[in-house]
Chains A and B, each alone.
Chain A
Amino acid sequence: MLHSRTLLAATVAVFGLFAGPDARAETPPDTLIQAWAIDDIISLDPAEIFEFTASEIAGNSYEGLIGYDPMDVTKIYGKIAESWEVAADGMSISFKIKPGRTFASGNPITAEDVVFSLTRAVKLDKSPAFILTQFGLNADNVDQMVTQEGDDTVVFRMDKPYAPTLVLYCLTATVGFVVDKQTVMANEQNGDFGYEWLKTNYAGSGPFSIREWRANEAVVLERNENYSGDAAPMARVIYRHIPEGATQRLLLEQGDIDIARSLTAEELDAVRANADLKIQEGPKGSIYYLGLNQKNENLSKPEVRQAMKYLVDYQAIADTIMKGKVTVHQAFLPKGFLGALEDTPFSLDVAKAKELLAAAGVPDGFSVTMDTRNTPEITGIAQAIQQTMAQAGIQMELIPGDGQQTLTKYRARNHDIYIGRWGPDYQDPHTNADTFARNPDNSDDAASKPLAWRNAWDIPDMTAKADAAVLEGDAGKRGEMYLEIQKEHQETSPFVIMFQEIEVSAMRSNVNGFIVGPSFNDNNFAHVTK
């Protein structure tokens, strides 16, 4: 036994040698450390950024022409622009650039930079470019559509008189952020507008500058000393890639990180009980929904679609599995958007669902599959739905898959039911109407493939209504139009819209000033103190 005691003593000695109070470090006072899963970042170029984490980073390191108050999105204000004016015919908007502001490089922000940034995004034609090109811009005409007039004015022209708020909100998206032309073009190779360089580098003017991005490891931001607004209190903001919620919680409790971004409902309960920690939440625009493929014979029956909306126990899921992380919401426009419908007519009602199934000619139910992303939350929701569906005889088989795997199948319309989450691309109602309530061409090789197309829902009339709403200049009337579309959509669509997301972050109680906005590029830590 001497031997085992020696081994044990040796182990303890090794640990003891390196133990000590400094093994447990506090975060430095001028550094904010956040734990999040940052493996969704695929680019740092605003012309390409479309993912949650990268959007948030861009929101704190770049600036657009205009912005809005995250607490009240109807309040739009100028960031790089001092003022703007919509032309009488509604076909263009002129932006006057604020004088005397600079990029992190020290270069002045000019009208030329703005024109360069917008035309560059259109010409590069990366994923988010459609937010700009939907106004009739393309690589060939953008040099005539977006131009500099005089020293300090940029004119943005469109092919139709779109609702001005739509255009303005689109320009607040990350694709409209302004890059430093001089810095970017100094790194141009083979006419790529500096894309090869900027996708892993930085050329912006926000309160922080991006020092480095180590993929799947960390992103380091530093205070931009040339920022034209008030300097950020934090000298450094670091995102650490900690995919596991349980690990995030441990680190937060120990004080090794300041903010944990992706805790589960259960972990959040533990945080609530801890006096050293606190919770901050903000409603997000993301929506959880089921997409019922209309190529499936059973699902294409209107009564079946209706019945399924009565076979989800919305409140129970929101109170347990997703406690604190969602609210029940049943229309395609999230709360906070112009014209959002807040009625929630559906609740679990098995008797009613059975009646509807009988009327559809399937009184004993049927078998169906649901492609389910293998994250704990989506799986939990799916299993709850599976149980309530079974009460009316619908045998739902869950097919688990990785995110890209389920998505591949969904985009090819090979699913029966898909459980998904959809976040708006910008703050205007058109962003969700465009995908949930428009389907210009339902053929397999359509040029545009919105969510309505993915579920093979052919809706020429509703598409026309959504198109009309885009051109309505009067916000009040426009809101009414969206309400009407949503009411019809809520009753007839093959989308079982269930919840709106609430983003919840857990942080040390000394962290103040973190703002959780409606979209990820509104999440702001420029005023955080600790």
Chain B
Amino acid sequence: MSDTTANGGRESALLRFLWKTVKLLATVALTFLGLLLATFLIGRVVPVDPVLAVIGDRAPQSVYDRVYVELGLDRPLYEQFWLYLEKVFTGDFGQSFLTKRDIVDDIRRVFPATLELATVAILIGTLFGIPLGVWAAVRQGRFADQFVRVFGLIGYSAPIFWLGLLGLLVFYARLHWVAGPGRIDIAYEYSITAKTGLLLLDSAMQGEWDAFKNVFSHIILPASLLGYFSMAYISRMTRSFMLNELAQEYVTTARVKGVPEWRIIWVHALGNAAVPLVTVVALSYANLLEGSVLTETVFAWPGLGQYLTNSLQNADMNAVLGGTLVIGAIFVGLNLLSDLLYNLLDPRVRRHA
């Protein structure tokens, strides 16, 4: 009897797991399909003629007509979408009209630039944002709180375009602390071979420390700026989560028990505030990974934001759809990751799972 129960329990656990996996996969698939459909339709509503991106302004009408048919624009919309889906399922995302390369190759080139910038930025944003938020919560209503609020507000409201140029003017042109726009100096460009496309990682792995230093000196300013923006948001959220935790009874209990104040703040309260903070950080990271067009423009950073904007302005739909899929994958991925971290951080969720 007991054997069968155990087996049945194991089987039903397996079934539950399978069902969960299927549900998850179906959700992801539907999300991607919806994303593609919406992007596709938006691309067709934009009043830009995709043929122009291919042939320019000068081509005679005969060339125009030929390319119009070649791009499949003479077919009904649903047929165009279906053809695209068929190709995507076989792993063929098509070619960009603008760069004349496979979308996959393009994304492989532009995404690491954005990934590297966003990762450094989110590290800066988190490493500074969380302590500042904690500090503001502990000193609620006092000078420190006001300072963090104003400092954050500036980061939140100043146009990044302006801050970027100002940053370049001060730290690059006047003080010479950092290198200028771009990812790496020409002199180092060919000293490292791109393996991951993340130049910090590539240069470190190949032991090219001069190149590493140069790449760092290029990335630190734009990453600090983007990090400043995330920091503003993260510190505000940390503050409010911390205020909530510090008002809880277990904090009072701990104080009565004589636990040192630093331990109460940094271990007990922050440990509990960390659970919702994971989502905040993950969302900030996802936003950064979409690529920031303005930052990328000012800093001549060849990333995803510039690529997508340029493609959209030229109605280069294969590129836009490909880029959108990447962003969709980032959001889905980070969501899953933060769910996973929830499990690790929150004992209640862990027990239920």
Contact = CB atoms under 8 A, between A and B. Distances in A.
Given A126-B59, A250-B180, A425-B58, 5 more contacts: A18-B217, A241-B300, A405-B47, A408-B48, A411-B52
B56 A402 contact: no
B341 interface: no
15 contacts: A3-B131, A15-B220, A16-B177, A19-B176, A21-B176, A23-B179, A25-B187, A28-B186, A28-B187, A43-B100, A50-B59, A127-B55, A247-B300, A251-B181, A447-B60
A404 B100 contact: no
A4 B144 CA distance: 9
A316 interface: no
A244 interface: yes
Contact of A246 (B46, B128, B165): B165
B32 interface: no
A127 B106 contact: no
A244 B171 contact: no
B111 interface: no
A240 interface: yes
A368 interface: no
Interface in B176-234: 176-182, 185-187, 213-214, 216-217, 220
Contacts, number: 163
B300 A242 contact: yes
B310 A403 contact: no
A24 B176 contact: yes
Interface string A402-446: 111101110100000000000001000000000000000000001
A127 B56 contact: yes
B174 to A, nearest CB: 10
Contacts of B101: 200, 215
A42 B168 contact: no
Contacts of B329: none
B186 A243 contact: no
B140 to A, nearest CB: 15
A49 to B, nearest CB: 10
Interface in B276-334: 297-300, 302, 306-307, 310, 313-315
A482 B56 CA distance: 27
B62 interface: yes
Interface string A195-216: 0000110000000000000111
A216 B307 contact: yes
Interface string B141-169: 00010010000000000000000010011
A405 B50 CA distance: 10
A448 B178 CA distance: 54
A42 B98 contact: yes
Interface in A1-37: 3-4, 7, 14-16, 18-19, 21-25, 27-28, 31, 33, 35
A404 B176 contact: no
Contact of B54 (A15, A42, A200, A242): A42
A33 B61 contact: no
B95 to A, nearest CB: 9
Contacts of A466: none
A243 B98 contact: no
Nearest to B216: A18
A23 B217 contact: yes
Contacts of B182: 240, 242
Contacts of A215: 96, 98-99, 101, 106, 109
Given A240-B182, A247-B300, A404-B48, A127 B168 contact: no
A425 B58 CA distance: 9
Contact of A27 (B186, B216, B306, B310): B186
A514 interface: no
Contacts of B216: 18
B352 interface: no
A402 B312 CA distance: 10
A15 B307 CA distance: 30
Interface string A261-292: 00000000000000000000000000000000
B241 interface: no
Contacts of A216: 99, 110, 302, 306-307, 310
A309 interface: no
Determine chain A's interface SS by DSSP, over half rule.
Answer: mixed
Given A42-B53, A130-B59, A244-B298, A15 B177 contact: yes
A250 B300 contact: no
A259 interface: no
B52 A408 contact: yes
Interface string A99-120: 0000000000000000000000
A39 interface: yes
Contacts of B298: 244, 246-247
Contacts of A200: 100-101
Contact of A244 (B46, B173, B300): B300
B342 interface: no
Contacts of A128: 58-59
A242 B297 CA distance: 7
Pairs of residues from A and B, 4 with the lowest C-beta to C-beta distance, nearest first: A215-B99, A127-B59, A217-B302, A408-B49
Contact of B63 (A21, A126, A214): A126
A6 to B, nearest CB: 10
Contacts of A408: 47-49, 52
Given A28-B186, A125-B63, A244-B297, A402 B313 contact: yes
A110 B86 CA distance: 46
A18 B213 contact: yes
A247 B300 CA distance: 8
Nearest to A412: B49
A322 to B, nearest CB: 21
B172 A254 contact: yes
A181 interface: no
B306 to A, nearest CB: 6
A129 interface: yes
B300 A404 contact: no
A129 B48 CA distance: 24
A7 B148 CA distance: 13
A238 interface: yes
A403 B313 contact: yes
Contacts of A217: 109, 302
Contacts of B55: 126-127
Given A42-B98, A50-B58, A404-B313, A214 B178 contact: no
A143 interface: no
A404 B315 contact: yes
B66 interface: yes
A225 interface: no
B186 A238 contact: yes
Contacts of A253: 173
B100 A199 contact: yes
A19 B178 contact: yes
A42 B100 CA distance: 7
B32 to A, nearest CB: 25
Contacts of A491: none
Contacts of B214: 22
A442 B289 CA distance: 50
A434 to B, nearest CB: 11
A507 B34 CA distance: 50
B3 interface: no
Contact of B178 (A3, A15, A25, A51): A15
